[in-house]
Amino acid sequence: MKQMSKKTNKHNKIKLICFDCNVPLSNWDKFLHKKYPNTLGYILCSSCQKKREDKIKKELADSISDLGFYDYPKIIAKLKKQEEKK
């Protein structure tokens, strides 16, 4: 069996592609992936990573905006009015 030389192995590297959009990663994305690996098990390009982060931020903001404990004095006032009516 023939062994591959180092020169041919250099050109036969597997290209890293984004999990979401299937686009080959840029050199910058490759650098970031090597320097800061993620625990997802797949690789995302910068634009897909930003889209996912924005989606999570929006979901978090929507869930926080519905909290009622910020109106604590109003709740206490309502409870006192209800007690007075009884």
Q: Note down pLDDT in tens along the chain; length 86 residues.
A: 455 555 555 566 778 899 989 999 999 999 988 898 888 788 899 999 999 999 999 998 887 776 655 666 777 778 888 888 76
Question: Which DSSP state fits 42?
Answer: S
28 Cβ contact list (under 8 Å, min separation 6): 46
Per-residue model confidence (pLDDT) at position 79: 81
Q: Is residue 3 part of a domain?
A: no
Q: Is residue 8 part of a domain?
A: no
CA distance 64 to 55: 14
Per-residue model confidence (pLDDT) at position 8: 53
Residue 72: enclosing H or E segment and its boundaries?
helix 72-85
Tokens of 55: 């989606």
Per-residue model confidence (pLDDT) at position 75: 72
Q: Is residue 1 part of a domain?
A: no
Q: Is residue 66 part of a domain?
A: yes
Domain that holds residue 41: 14-85
Per-residue model confidence (pLDDT) at position 3: 55
- What total number of domains does the chain contain? 1
